[in-house]
Amino acid sequence: MSTYVEEISFLDEPAIKAGNSELEIIIIPGWGSNLISIVHKGSNTELLRVPTSTKEYLNNPVLFGTPILFPPNRIDRGKFSFNERTYQFEINELDKQNHIHGFVHTRKWEVVSIEVNDQTVKVVTEFDSSKHDDVMAQFPHHFMIRMNYILNDNLFAKKAEIINKSNEPLPLGFGYHTSFLFPEETSFLKLPVKKRWKLNDRFLPTGELEDIEYKDELSEGMNLYGLELDDVFLSSPNASGLQTAQIMNQSTGIEINYTVDQSFKHWVVYNKDGRSGFLCPEPYTWVTNAPNLKVNEELTGIQRIEPDDMKVLRTWIVISHKS
């Protein structure tokens, strides 16, 4: 298989383009190591929501590509306690007085390595919190996140390694704000889920789980046209602990299978108004505002990384085309 990788400029930002005969990807280290584009080459179809200008991207960076969320989603007034330490994050969602989406998707990452052989392309990037005083001030742990992007045939895999370099346990919440193009009239989402988290008017879970009125339809493949979603769902993994969100586009014949490992216990599904042509299935290891919920940690998904330890999280995107 013909594989390749090259350094390019994307909207005046240094970027890495990699590909093979099936797929081509673009990663922008300076934009939070954002995988900004996936193109299916056989049909010449872009799969992700890609900005047309730097201004457009910076106006709302979580809605383009696949931003890395650490921690994901909202924290009530940016404050929580864990392991006898109280954390105060910046309030960056002013209208709701929450912190939202963490520290790493808007900051520069470094390229660690690029490997290419006949079958596989692998790009590794890294975020080191000790190089960011503003992050350390809010989250006083020396941690590193190493992202491994692996392209092989029609499979694109991501392996996230979160490393605790500090001398006390680190609270772990991690997710991706994956922004797929999704023409609602011809597209369907299939996502088996158990329950939906009930949210208050600040989009924070109350701690209660509720039934989903369209649960069966969603588990079989559902057209979302006109259905406005910013909902938080409890996963329904298969026997091996994995879960797959499936997107089917009848107009292009493209099918995307987005599979996550057993650490991802929740999905947020966001589509603005159900008429904007994009869909964000967002896998999270912890539910929104998890540290503040009076619910057991097994359900909320809070994990900890002990000093000098590492947590590995894996996701896989497989793209097929039915002409």
For the annotated catalytic residues, the residue numbers are: 177, 282
d(CA 46, CA 36): 10
Closest-CA residue to 234 (of 279, 269, 270, 182): 269
DSSP letters, 75-95, are: EETTEEEETTEEEE----BTT
- Whose structure tokens read 């109350």? 206
Burial of 191 (C-beta count, 10 Å sphere; 0-12/13-18/19+)? buried
Cβ(173)–Cβ(288) under 8 Å? Answer: no
Which CA distances in Å does 113 have to 103, 158, 162?
23, 15, 17
| Residue 45 identity | T
List all residues 6 or more positions away from 139 whose beta carbon is below 8 Å from its beta carbon: 87, 89, 103, 129
Check if the beta carbon of residue 68 is closer than 8 Å to that of residue 32: yes
Pair of tokens at residue 1: 């298989």
Q: How many CA atoms lie within 13 A of 178 on its CB side?
A: 26
Burial of 115 (0-12, 13-18, 19+ CB in 10 A): exposed
The count of residues in the chain is 323
Is 273 strand, coil or helix?
Answer: coil
Going by their DSSP bridges, the two strands 143-152 and 243-249 should be labelled as unpaired
Among candidate residues 95, 32, 102, the one with its CA nearest the CA of residue 291: 102
